[in-house]
Amino acid sequence: MAEPIVATESVDIFDKVPLFQRAAPLREAGLFPYFKALTAQSGNNVTVDGRSMLMMCSNDYLGLSQDRRVQEAGMPALKEFGTSCTGSRFLNGTLGLHEMFERDLAEFLHKEAVLTFSTGFLGSLGVLAALIDRHDVMYFDRENHASLYDGARLSYGQLRKFRHGDMDHLESLLKRDAGKPIGRLIVTDGVFSMSGEIANLPRIVELARQYGARILVDDAHSTGVLGPNGRGTAEHYGLEDEIDLTIGTFSKAFASVGGFVGGGADVVDFIKLRARPFIFTAALPPAQVAITHKALELMRAEPIHRERLWRRVSHFRCGLVGLGFDTLASAGPIVPVLIGMQDRTIAFWKDIFDDGIFAMPAFPPAVPEGEGIIRMAVNGSHSFEEIDRVLAVFADAGRKHGVID
Q: pLDDT for 287-299, tens place per residue?
A: 999 999 999 999 9
pLDDT reported for residue 195: 95
- Stretch among 22-31, 37-46, 144-153, 317-326 having the lowest mean pLDDT: 22-31
Beta strand 113-117 with 259-263 is antiparallel
Q: Is 221 a catalytic residue?
A: yes
- Do 78 and 217 fall within a single domain? yes
In a domain, 29, yes or no: yes
- Do 264 and 159 fall within a single domain? yes
The DSSP call for residue 19 is G
Of 277, 301, 325, which closes a domain? 301
CATH number of the structural domain spanning residue 375? 3.90.1150.10
Asked if the model's pLDDT at residue 1 lies above 60, the reply is no
Tell me the CB-side half-sphere exposure of residue 405, using CA atoms within 13 A: 2
Over the stretch 5-39, which tens digit does the pLDDT of each residue have? 666 677 888 888 776 677 778 888 888 899 999 99
- Do 149 and 217 fall within a single domain? yes
- Do 219 and 144 fall within a single domain? yes
Of 271, 301, 331, which closes a domain? 301
* Rounded distance between C-alpha atoms, residue 141 and residue 138, angstroms: 10
In a domain, 158, yes or no: yes
In a domain, 405, yes or no: no
User: Which is catalytic among the residues 193, 195, 222, 381?
Assistant: 193
Q: Residues 6 or more apart from 99 whose CB is under 8 A from it?
A: none
Of 301, 325, 357, which closes a domain? 301
Please tell me the pTM assigned to this model.
0.94
pLDDT reported for residue 150: 98
pLDDT reported for residue 7: 60
Over the stretch 96-111, which tens digit does the pLDDT of each residue have? 999 999 999 999 999 9
Q: How confident is the model at residue 338 (pLDDT cuts 50, 70, 90)?
A: very high
pLDDT reported for residue 394: 98
* Rounded distance between C-alpha atoms, residue 140 and residue 213, angstroms: 13
* 48: three-class secondary structure by DSSP: strand
- Do 122 and 162 fall within a single domain? yes
- Do 267 and 148 fall within a single domain? yes
In a domain, 126, yes or no: yes
User: Which is catalytic among the residues 164, 252, 294, 382?
Assistant: 252
3-state helix, strand, coil in the chain (%, to 5): 45, 20, 40
Closest CA to 174 of 203, 151, 200: 203
- Do 290 and 310 fall within a single domain? no
Q: Is 252 a catalytic residue?
A: yes
User: Exposure of 161 by Cβ count < 10 A (0-12 exposed, 13-18 middle, 19+ buried)?
Assistant: middle
pLDDT reported for residue 14: 87
In a domain, 12, yes or no: no
- Do 227 and 316 fall within a single domain? no
In a domain, 60, yes or no: no
Domain of residue 256, residue span: 66-301
Asked if the model's pLDDT at residue 386 lies above 90, the reply is yes
- Do 218 and 252 fall within a single domain? yes
pLDDT reported for residue 319: 98
* Rounded distance between C-alpha atoms, residue 239 and residue 155, angstroms: 28
pLDDT reported for residue 2: 64
In a domain, 248, yes or no: yes
Mean pLDDT along residues 78-98 = 96
Stated as kind and residue range, the H or E segment containing 115 is: strand 113-117
Rg (CA), the chain: 23
CATH number of the structural domain spanning residue 242? 3.40.640.10
Over the stretch 276-289, which tens digit does the pLDDT of each residue have? 999 999 999 999 99
Mean pLDDT along residues 105-132 = 98
User: Which is catalytic among the residues 111, 221, 293, 294?
Assistant: 221
Asked if the model's pLDDT at residue 201 lies above 60, the reply is yes
In a domain, 6, yes or no: no
pLDDT reported for residue 25: 83
* Rounded distance between C-alpha atoms, residue 26 and residue 35, angstroms: 13
Mean pLDDT along residues 360-366 = 91
Count of Cβ atoms closer than 10 Å to residue 320 Cβ: 24
Mean pLDDT along residues 246-268 = 98
- Do 225 and 245 fall within a single domain? yes
The total number of structural domains in the chain stands at 2
- Stretch among 4-8, 76-80, 305-309, 399-403 having the lowest mean pLDDT: 4-8
- Do 291 and 325 fall within a single domain? no
- Do 93 and 123 fall within a single domain? yes
Q: How confident is the model at residue 132 (pLDDT cuts 50, 70, 90)?
A: very high
